[in-house]
């Protein structure tokens, strides 16, 4: 069975004090749940956030990116090994903002996935179509391509460790959300791709998250869908009360 997950992607927000305050507030009000809760703060705070979460077995810490190189003369880069060494558990790979602003494409993203797995970090691999691609009805092809090229070289053992996040680009940070039906259609499509490639048992064990302006006001319908295992949350993860509410709703 796939895990229920609520993951907060803070992006480039919060100074150190604000970051630690946010984590304390969420942990203080954390519902008694088996839902996996993930904080993805900026790199700088990973170690401290991981320390704060160490006693909560269902709370994990993720980086927002990692280098596709192992180590060496790559000024400004952060490797998967470094991330693992400060006790983070996971890493977001292929967020649409990385694809759009930093030109990351599947070839590099598949290497990032490999590096994450090499150092025992669970990848949260993001996919999603732009508004133009949806209008042109290309969204299924785009998503198939994003998944096949970056993930389908993995063997079964490694594939089982991957979490997939469907994030329609037109819904990220825009206030626009996919309707529960639109989101479910894509999630079911992703589950089918996984089934065709790895079989039903593995496909059912992989968590597929929805992301894109998901907040307490619209999460109920999304989380009620059969193939939506949880959310990758941007804006609403920056407000402790909203993030806790989303955890409650997914519990």
For ligand PEP, the closer of residues 38 and 117 by Cβ is: 38
Catalytic residue among 104, 139, 167, 187: 167
Binding footprint of ligand PEP, residue count (CB under 6 A)? 12
Q: How many C-beta atoms lie closer than 10 Å to residue 57's C-beta?
A: 9
Stretch that binds ligand PEP, among 74-82, 101-109, 110-118, 208-216 (CB under 6 A): 208-216
Tell me: does residue 168 bind ligand PEP (CB under 6 A).
Answer: no
Tell me how far, at minimum, the Cβ of 158 lies from ligand PEP, in Å: 23
Handedness of CA 195, 198, 203, 208 (dihedral sign): negative
Nearer to ligand PEP, 52 or 235 (CB): 235
Catalytic residue among 68, 95, 139, 187: 95
Which segments within the chain are labelled E, that is strand? 5-9, 36-40, 59-63, 90-93, 122-127, 163-166, 208-210, 230-233
Please tell me whether residue 172 binds ligand PEP under the rule CB under 6 A: yes
Q: Phi/psi class of residue 104: alpha, beta or left (left: φ > 0; alpha: ψ in -120 to 50)? A: beta
In the list 22, 164, 183, 232, the residue contacting ligand PEP (rule: CB under 6 A) is 232
93 lines the binding site for ligand PEP (CB under 6 A): no
Whole-number Å distance between alpha carbons of 246 and 230? 9
Residues written for the chain: 251
Q: DSSP 3-state assignment of 58?
A: coil
With binding defined as CB under 6 A, does residue 233 bind ligand PEP?
Answer: yes
Q: Is 150 in the site for ligand PEP (CB under 6 A)?
A: no
Q: Residue 161 — φ and ψ, nearest 5°?
A: -85, -10
By annotation, the residues acting in catalysis are 95, 167
Residues that bind ligand PEP (CB under 6 A): 9, 167, 172-173, 211-214, 232-235
């Amino acid at each position: 069975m796939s895990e229920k997950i609520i993951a907060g992607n803070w992006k480039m927000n919060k100074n150190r004090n604000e970051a630690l305050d946010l984590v304390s507030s969420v942990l203080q009000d954390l519902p008694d749940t088996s839902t996996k809760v993930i904080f993805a703060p900026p790199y700088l705070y990973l170690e401290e956030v991981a320390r704060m979460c160490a006693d909560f077995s269902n709370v994990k810490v993720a980086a927002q990116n990692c280098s596709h190189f192992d180590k060496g003369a790559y000024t400004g880069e952060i490797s998967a090994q470094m991330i693992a060494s400060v006790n983070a558990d996971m890493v977001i790979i292929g967020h649409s903002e990385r694809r759009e602003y930093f030109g990351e494409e599947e070839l590099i993203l598949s290497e990032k996935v490999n590096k994450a797995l090499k150092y025992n970090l669970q990848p949260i691999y993001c996919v999603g179509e732009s508004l133009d691609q949806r209008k042109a009805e290309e969204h299924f092809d785009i998503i198939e391509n994003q998944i096949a090229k970056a993930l389908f070289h993995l063997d079964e053992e490694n594939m089982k460790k991957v979490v997939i996040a469907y994030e329609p680009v037109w819904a990220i940070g825009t206030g626009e959300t996919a309707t529960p039906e639109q989101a479910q259609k894509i999630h079911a499509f992703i589950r089918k791709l996984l089934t065709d490639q790895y079989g039903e048992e593995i496909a059912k064990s992989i968590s597929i998250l929805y992301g894109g302006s998901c907040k307490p006001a619209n999460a109920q319908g999304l989380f009620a869908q059969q193939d939506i295992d949880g959310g990758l949350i941007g804006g609403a993860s920056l407000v402790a009360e909203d993030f806790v509410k989303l955890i409650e709703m997914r519990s």
